[in-house]
Amino acid sequence: MVELEAETTRERILDVAEEHFRHIGFQKTTVADIARCLGMSSANIYRFFPSRVAIDASVCGRFFMESIKVVKSTACVCGSAQTKLAKTLTLLHQKRKTTFVEEKRVHDLMVAAAGENWEINKAHTDEVVAIIEAIIRDGTVSGEFVAEDPGREARSIMTAFTPFYHPVLVEQEVRQGNDTGARLRDQIAFFIRALGGSATDGRHPGNERELAGTASLRDLIP
C-alpha cells in the first residue's frame, strides 16, 4: 500500500513536471514550481526523486516512450520485414522532426539527454536497436534478409541512422531546409541491400524488385 502511494505521488510529480516542461521548458522549470502546484515542499519532492536530473530524465523517458509505442505498433503489423524496417526508421525520423518543429521545449530536453549522455537516452537507443534486431531476425527467417548476427547488424544500422535521429543533427537539417526524406530513402535502401534484400526508391523502376512487392521507398518515405 505504501509503495503504491509512493508510485502514485511519483507519477503526479512527473505529470506536473511534464506539463511545465511542455509549456515553459525544462530549463525554466524549478523544483519549487513543481512543488507549489502539488501543494508540497521542495524537500518533499526529493523524497521521491534523488535529484532534479532524475526528474528531467524520467519525463524525458515518457517522451521517448511515445516514439517506442508508435514503432512497436508498426513492427507488429502484417507486412514484409523490409517494409517494417523502412516504416520504423521513417516514423522515428519523422517523430524527431515533428518534435523539433512543433514541440521545441520537448526537443530541448532530448538535446540535453543526448548531449549529457543521460542513462535514459542510452536505454532508449538500446530499445530502438532491439526493435530493429527483431525485424532483422524476422526477415532472416522469412528469407528476405541474410544476417549472420542480427544484433550486430541492428547496432550498425542505428549508428548509420544517427544523422536522422540525433536531435541536434535533425535540428540542423531542418534549419538548413535540407530534404531529409530523399536522403533517408537512399539510406534505408542501402540498409536493405546490405541485409541481402532489394529496394528501389521509385526513381529507377525495373532495375530492382520494389520494396515488399507493392510499394517503393518513395511511397513509404515522403
Coil/strand/helix, residue 208: strand
pLDDT of residue 72: 87
Q: How many CB atoms lie within 10 A of CB 32?
A: 11
pLDDT of residue 215: 43
pLDDT of residue 210: 39
Q: How many residues does the chain have?
A: 222
Burial class (CB in 10 A: 0-12, 13-18, 19+), 207: exposed
pLDDT of residue 192: 95
Q: How many CB atoms lie within 10 A of CB 149?
A: 11
pLDDT of residue 1: 52
pLDDT of residue 119: 97
Place of cell 517494417: 84
The pTM of the full predicted model, rounded to 2 decimals, is 0.86
Strand (E) positions, 89-193?
Answer: none
| pLDDT tens over the chain, length 222 residues | 556 688 999 999 999 999 999 999 999 999 999 999 999 999 999 999 999 999 999 999 999 999 999 888 877 776 899 999 999 999 999 999 999 999 999 999 999 999 999 999 999 999 999 999 999 999 999 999 999 999 999 999 999 999 999 999 999 999 999 989 999 999 999 999 999 977 644 333 333 343 433 344 455 455
Cell numbers given for 138: 524476422
CB burial string 50-66: b at 16+ within 10 A, e below: eebeebbbbbbbebbee
CB–CB of 186/193 below 8 Å? no
N- to C-terminal Cα distance for the chain?
Answer: 50
pLDDT of residue 156: 97
